[in-house]
Structure 1
Amino acid sequence: MAITEKYEDVQAAADIEDNAHKHDVDSKEESQRSDDETLSTASGAKLIEKRKPPNTLESQGYISYMPIVQFGFALLASWEAVGLSLQLNLLNGGTSTLVYGSLLAGVGSCLVALSIAEMASMDPVVGAQYRWSARFAPGGAAAQRFWGLFQGWVTLFGWMTGAATNLAYMAQGVLAIAVLWNPGFEPQAWQTALVMCAFVVPPVAGNLWFRRLVAPMEWCGGVGHAVFWLASMAVLGALGTRGSHASVWAAPPSSRAGWQGRPGVAFGVGLVPISFPSTGFDGVIHMCKETRDARRTIPGAILVAVVLNALMAFVWLVVVSYYLGDVDALLAGSPMGLAIMGVYLRATGSRAAATVLVLFHVVILYISLYNIYASVARLGWAFSQNKGLPFSDFFVKVSSRYNQPLRTLGLLVVVDVALAMISIGSTTAFNAMLSLPLIAIYLSYGIPILFILVRRLRGLPVGKMGPFRLPRAGGVAVAVNALAVVYILYIISFAGLPTMMPATKDNMNYAGPMMLGIIVVALADWCISGRRRFRLPEAHFDS
């Protein structure tokens, strides 16, 4: 009996201890759940949201390989953008620039993309170029911080003005359609500005409320990018009057804008509008926080986007060159001087058909604009995280409701609307701003590529390589980096030249002085507070 009672006492004590332990475990699990999850109510439904550190974007990984490839593929929209600026190529360079210039731009862009893809595989971060410039810059920590801050200014404002370029492309296409159907209509500068501002609204709304539609949108954009390309060439081939082979392949560089007698300059100036659409592939990297296995996925998306867009632009421009006809008559008879509208109208003889074909260009550029806004908002957020922008504590805020950097998205909207408004008072200044992103973005590519090239030439380590790497054997990596830098310098040297000669205050290309202004702002920021405020970026991507 005593033994039994003793056993029962021991068992009771054990039960109490087990219950206490279970209670402690349950309490810890409940506490952990309360730390990790919060309940919120939306549309009457309970949603479970994971808490994250303040002012950070969740690494959700909801973008898989094919959607991010489609993202980059549609982001460039090369043949669509080149089509809407075709008149600029006809003014300088002619068919020689369209054919051989697009081939040169394609090869050069691939060299640059190979260099950027290797760095993206090593270190896929939202900040991209400014992070890499700081990482590979020669000198000590002060020099690295300087180049990081400088590069951030150049890259961010290059992308912001690049978004305004897409708005201008689309506004020109829409207003040309309006003129086609209403020949007496003469669009005013304020009307162009309003159309540009109207195009800002859909991508902002899409980034806020329809972010989960990004994957199907990328599929639609990528498929449309390819299908419309085929349809455009098929219509020209079936209905247009084809020119001679000599007019396409044997024509020397020409100029209708005052560069006669200087074929090399005419070719280079005409190459600028072809080169610009092949920039911006680094926008894919800005989405790395939402992309699965970014070290492998991002480089592949960059290379697929650049190679395919280069091939598509080259083939499309060759086909279009056969159906230009009398270029002077084409430029004079095209609504708002939009040459591609004249090409479609001449081939089809139908205003409705020409309208649909021009809308092919506009629709894909719209989807591209959605991608640009998502990309630039994240770039501005990343730069603010490193205290790169003045008032970074304000811009770094991330909306917990949308998981979006709303304030940098708002900054982008303000800048683009301001650029649109400038077109009301000064068309010349606005045209210069369209040339600015080419210089800024190519400069943002050139700086980190130059730094990693110098390291390789000096035999210094460049860090742990990622899954994608350029071959070192035979100096392949050095050759690719060196040729990429040469190509960038070649394009930049023509981007600041006036498109019309003689140059006057009304037709001067102010892109060079404006780029110099941004450089001065970056240097002033460094001297005033940036050298104390800016934090050297560190790799923070979670693979």
Structure 2
Amino acid sequence: MTMREMTRPDERMSMEEFGNDGKTDVAQKGGTASDEQEMRRMGKVQELRRNFKFIGIVGFVTILQATWQNTLLANQSGLTNGGTAGVIWCTIAVWILMLCTIASMAEMASMCPTAGGQYHWVSEFAPPSLQKPLSYVVGWCCCLGWIAGIPACGLQLAGLVQAMVILVYPKANVSHLWQTTLLVFLFVLLCVGFNIFFAHHLPLAEGIVLFLHIFAFFAFLLVMWIMADHVPAAQVFTEFHNGGGWSSLGLSCLVGLTTPIWCFIGPDAGAHMSEELKDASLQLPKAMIWATFGNGIMGIGMLITFCFCITDLEVLLDANNGLPVIQVLSNATGSKAGTIILGSILLVLLFFSTVTTIASASRQVWAFSRDCGLPFSAWIRYVPLRWEIPLNALLICLGVSLVLSAINFGSYAALNAILSVSNAALIFSYIVSIGCVRLKRLRGEPLLPRRWSLGKWGAPLNDIALLWLCVGFVFSFFPSAPYTSDPDTAWWAGNFNWSIVIFSTTCILALIYFACGGSRRYVAPLALVKAE
């Protein structure tokens, strides 16, 4: 069955505009013979230019994860629930387990290097009776996870700016919800603008920022080791903290997994750029592994260094600037100017992390709309020939991100729930896609040919990844503190994690839309795959 037969006439993209009966010369877009063969097998047309090479995509994944930066910027949850010892040991464990996850996903990326990522893999590997509805739900969850991550990055940028302002002007009143929201709007607009007007320079920018990423790592490391006061190693590695008031330290540390998960989330980012990568089936898996391995080394080194500089954890968590790293840098340098310079470097790096997050989100939305998985797919998936970027998908990401960020005008707790659901939605997509491959291995069914293979280690690595991801998925929905009956704490308003409601609602709406017409519109990727 052809694409013409599978899609509605008013929603499919005309194949003739590409010439050669729907075939595109992939080489003209910068691809190799392997890229052309893989695109032909998957029934996809090469619409985007393959600007990325190995170093560029390593930089892309490395900068998006921004692991060592996030160990400094997103550590409050881990320090509150776990303390220095808890956040260090949990981060090391999560890094090792995420390497197993990324290895499993890298193998799938080598089999099917497509911007669709997880939902495409589910369609190809799931049991035939489930492949269409399951890939459809996973596609919606991937879109939810990536788009929700955009205001999350914007909120970090806004918080960093506000913390630096408060450092210089302690009496400044810049922490109102509306002020934070307007800053988020500004950064989201700037990052989307970069993706639109400088898209073809993105690989070059990633290479330059990768150099800054490495250079700044050593700059921060040296400042904190040389200039800051340090606590004994026994205190750093053995003292736990149960700031949330959970029933045990172990449970508190598991609740604090938010910090290490956020530091390593998004390994599928490279997969969503695979149709813009030269020789993707070979270069992408290696880039995903090397980026996460290098990020883990730097992130854990930076986190340990930072924890050695925490002389009083309770005072640090109660600091009024909201970002412990600014207080630590200020104590270490003894200079507001020095702290602002270091903070500005973090700001630049986090800005480009947001740029890459938006790039990945837009490719995910574009790929899913290409298979008619979203309403108004015909408009969303349009790629202007002169631009060679998914312009309308970028605009969708912009609009939805601004709407999500606007919730911050009225409720910080509601926005936090939207940000938390990013982790949960992406982890769910990892569980389903890896689970489908593991099921094929369990049944002894042959896998697709791949140029990067796990070999005999495939099954155990899949098992480890699935066990870990299930734990991470469950604790993504936990609140920062347990329920209390004390009416003065306003627990339901301030602490409840509404991400479970948002995630469940999204899945239910996706299934309802699927049952009410989406199933007729949606072209499951497997329907376009050619047997070769």
Residue 268, structure 1, aligned to residue 262, structure 2: no
User: Residue in 2 aligned with 1:305?
Assistant: 291
Of 434, 437, 442, the match for 2:419 = 434
Of 405, 414, 417, the match for 2:402 = 417
Residue 207, structure 1, aligned to residue 163, structure 2: no
Residue 234, structure 1, aligned to residue 225, structure 2: no
The answer as to whether partners of 1:97 and 1:271 remain within 8 angstroms in 2 is no
User: Residue in 2 aligned with 1:181?
Assistant: 168
User: Residue in 1 aligned with 2:359?
Assistant: 374
Provide structure 2 residue ranges, at least 5 long, that are not aligned to the other structure. 1-17, 21-27, 31-43, 485-490
Secondary structure of the 2:492 match is: coil
The answer as to whether partners of 1:145 and 1:536 remain within 8 angstroms in 2 is yes
Give the Å deviation of 1:59.
Answer: 4.7
Give the Å deviation of 1:355.
Answer: 1.7
Give the Å deviation of 1:49.
Answer: 11
After TM superposition, the runs of 4+ consecutive aligned structure 1 residues lying more than 4 A away are 538-541
Give the Å deviation of 1:540.
Answer: 7.2
Counterpart CA distance in 2 for 1:306 and 1:62 is: 22
Counterpart CA distance in 1 for 2:189 and 2:419 is: 20
Provide structure 1 residue ranges, at least 5 long, that are not aligned to the other structure. 1-33, 37-47
Residues 135-534 of structure 1 aligned to structure 2 (within 5 Å): 135-140=124-129, 143-186=130-173, 187-251=175-239, 253-259=240-246, 261-332=247-318, 334-464=319-449, 466-472=450-456, 476-501=457-482, 502=484, 503-534=491-522
Secondary structure of the 2:178 match is: helix
Give the Å deviation of 1:199.
Answer: 0.5
Counterpart CA distance in 1 for 2:158 and 2:375 is: 32
Q: Cα gap change, 1:198/1:537 in structure 2, threshold over 3 Å: closer, same or farther?
A: same
User: Residue in 1 aligned with 2:98?
Assistant: 109
1:342-395 residue CA offsets vs partner (Å, 9 max, x unmatched): 111111111111222222322111111111222211211111111100121221
The answer as to whether partners of 2:48 and 2:388 remain within 8 angstroms in 1 is no
Give the Å deviation of 1:498.
Answer: 0.8
Secondary structure of the 1:162 match is: helix
Counterpart CA distance in 1 for 2:218 and 2:307 is: 16
The answer as to whether partners of 2:72 and 2:306 remain within 8 angstroms in 1 is no
Counterpart CA distance in 2 for 1:222 and 1:281 is: 17
Counterpart CA distance in 2 for 1:229 and 1:489 is: 32
Aligned residue type for 1:95: T
User: Residue in 1 aligned with 2:89?
Assistant: 100
Secondary structure of the 2:292 match is: helix
Q: Cα gap change, 1:281/1:49 in structure 2, threshold over 3 Å: closer, same or farther?
A: closer
The answer as to whether partners of 1:335 and 1:342 remain within 8 angstroms in 2 is no
Counterpart CA distance in 1 for 2:509 and 2:216 is: 42
Q: How many pairs align?
A: 484
The answer as to whether partners of 1:335 and 1:341 remain within 8 angstroms in 2 is no
Counterpart CA distance in 2 for 1:421 and 1:528 is: 30
Secondary structure of the 2:257 match is: helix
Q: Cα gap change, 1:498/1:99 in structure 2, threshold over 3 Å: closer, same or farther?
A: same
The answer as to whether partners of 1:134 and 1:144 remain within 8 angstroms in 2 is yes
Secondary structure of the 2:525 match is: coil
Counterpart CA distance in 1 for 2:358 and 2:321 is: 28
Aligned residue type for 1:388: G
Secondary structure of the 2:268 match is: helix
Q: Cα gap change, 1:35/1:513 in structure 2, threshold over 3 Å: closer, same or farther?
A: closer
1:212-259 residue CA offsets vs partner (Å, 9 max, x unmatched): 2212211122111111111111001111111101101222x3211222
Counterpart CA distance in 1 for 2:306 and 2:199 is: 36
Secondary structure of the 1:379 match is: helix
Give the Å deviation of 1:521.
Answer: 1.2
TM-score normalized by the length of structure 2: 0.88
RMSD: 2.0
The answer as to whether partners of 1:84 and 1:169 remain within 8 angstroms in 2 is yes
Counterpart CA distance in 1 for 2:126 and 2:257 is: 31
* Greater C-alpha Rg: 1
Residues 61-76 of structure 1 aligned to structure 2 (within 5 Å): 61-76=50-65
Counterpart CA distance in 1 for 2:345 and 2:470 is: 33
Aligned residue type for 1:295: S
**Percentage of identical aligned residues:** 29
Give the Å deviation of 1:335.
Answer: 4.0
Q: Cα gap change, 1:35/1:328 in structure 2, threshold over 3 Å: closer, same or farther?
A: closer
The answer as to whether partners of 1:248 and 1:322 remain within 8 angstroms in 2 is yes
1:11-63 residue CA offsets vs partner (Å, 9 max, x unmatched): xxxxxxxxxxxxxxxxxxxxxxx979xxxxxxxxxxx999xxxx965353222
Q: Cα gap change, 1:305/1:528 in structure 2, threshold over 3 Å: closer, same or farther?
A: same
Counterpart CA distance in 2 for 1:212 and 1:112 is: 31
User: Residue in 1 aligned with 2:9?
Assistant: none
Aligned residue type for 1:266: S
Q: Cα gap change, 1:328/1:533 in structure 2, threshold over 3 Å: closer, same or farther?
A: same
